[in-house]
A and B are shown apart, each in its own frame.
Chain A
């Protein structure tokens, strides 16, 4: 298989990328690691006129802490999040999710921002970003926007990103307070897309109550789902088994799974419930063990 013909350009500067995108609009497609785009090109599900490779633009990679945020360059490879071990204790959910994305070879090429913008309903990062309350920095020739993860995922492979914009950075707030999280994924075989997955991130207040809880669901709807009712029932509460069970029930209700080769809708909904329940227990245990 090989793609339909396209023009290719790999600018060395972001301004040039933005100018090309404003010029070509929907005819252009941004290439980062290519691990979703190239299969789509080969299958000819996508046939852009021009492919704009951002691989030579400086400053788009790396994980760093700054001003109360963890900032992840949009072109950071999955592998480089996997090995960012200093995130342990702050953003456990990222470290738990990264090694479960596809396989080691894909993780060496594929990028966090690329995966988020591709917005596969079964993409792992979407659920994680919803759980941690990430913000996406996107740029166009006209300026910069900062889009919250909540609301960004609009449908299968559809986001709030405009065709003349490119994502440059993911910002995740890391405030005071002890936090913990985890990512649970059911897959048919190692390296598969999720049948169901759940991302959980909990911040405890100084009084030991849950300050905030973030829950993202993967592969159980038309896009990554933020389980807002479940999050709301946890906020301000003592982390008891009863409140966790209730939150998990609400998260299961937030799922909108479809039956397919990976399982029935009822099965997937219940897996989502169980994963959120287990994930909350793990997240809270980790937060209770974490330094403030």
Chain B
């Protein structure tokens, strides 16, 4: 069947079997391997994408459910050769070790600070509670998201001034 949706700003129309999982569609059919497959059982969040701006687990979505929706993957974060604030935050605060959870963490972090521009540490920890990291102990991931929130706030202030 044909499914038409927007991914990272570009409209795509693909022919898929209805049983195709979104994570497989993105990685195999579209060749975008930034979205990872971790547990494949809705537990780990490595496959996180934004669906109409909300983070969801793409291993637990069927391709036809994308019809008419907007998807953002980690490849859609940087624009015009410029890193997104969340990517800068993960770089600056060393918010990763092996990097496997990082695409999901960044997308969840981005959605979190868009909904709540000044999150507390508790709100960040609660917000990333669907994403598992086995390396960092989460300390630097929290700092990375705080870094991005502060950078956004500074930019907004600069814009006003």
Contacts and interface: CB of A to CB of B under 8 A. Distances in A.
B17 A105 contact: no
B65 A39 contact: no
Interface stretch (B79-87, B95-103, B123-131, B143-151): B123-131
B121 interface: no
Please classify how large the interface on chain B is, using the bins under 10, 10 to 19, 20 to 34, 35 or more: 20 to 34
Nearest to A109: B56
B57 interface: yes
B19 A104 contact: no
Contact of B62 (A34, A102, A104, A108): A34
Contact of A8 (B41, B51, B60, B64): B64
A288 B54 CA distance: 38
A208 interface: no
A4 interface: yes
Contacts of B64: 8, 10, 53
A104 B132 CA distance: 12
A10 B18 CA distance: 11
A38 B18 contact: no
A7 B151 CA distance: 47
B74 interface: no
Interface size class of A (residues with CB under 8 A): 20 to 34
B56 A105 contact: yes
Interface string A193-208: 0000000000000000
B133 to A, nearest CB: 13
A35 to B, nearest CB: 6
A103 B130 contact: yes
A2 B42 contact: no
Interface string B26-66: 00000000000000111101001001001111001110110
B67 interface: yes
Contacts of B19: 2-6, 41
Which of A35, A79, A108 gathers the greatest number of chain B CB atoms within 10 Å? A108
Contacts of A2: 19-21, 24
B60 A108 contact: no
B142 interface: no
Contacts of A41: 19
Nearest to A55: B65
A53 B65 CA distance: 8
B61 A104 contact: no
A235 interface: no
Interface string A217-242: 00000000000000000000000000
16 contacts: A1-B40, A2-B20, A8-B1, A8-B64, A35-B42, A39-B42, A41-B19, A42-B40, A42-B41, A51-B62, A104-B130, A105-B130, A105-B131, A106-B42, A106-B130, A109-B56
Interface of A: 1-8, 10, 31, 34-35, 38-39, 41-42, 51, 53, 55-56, 79, 99, 102-106, 108-109, 190-191
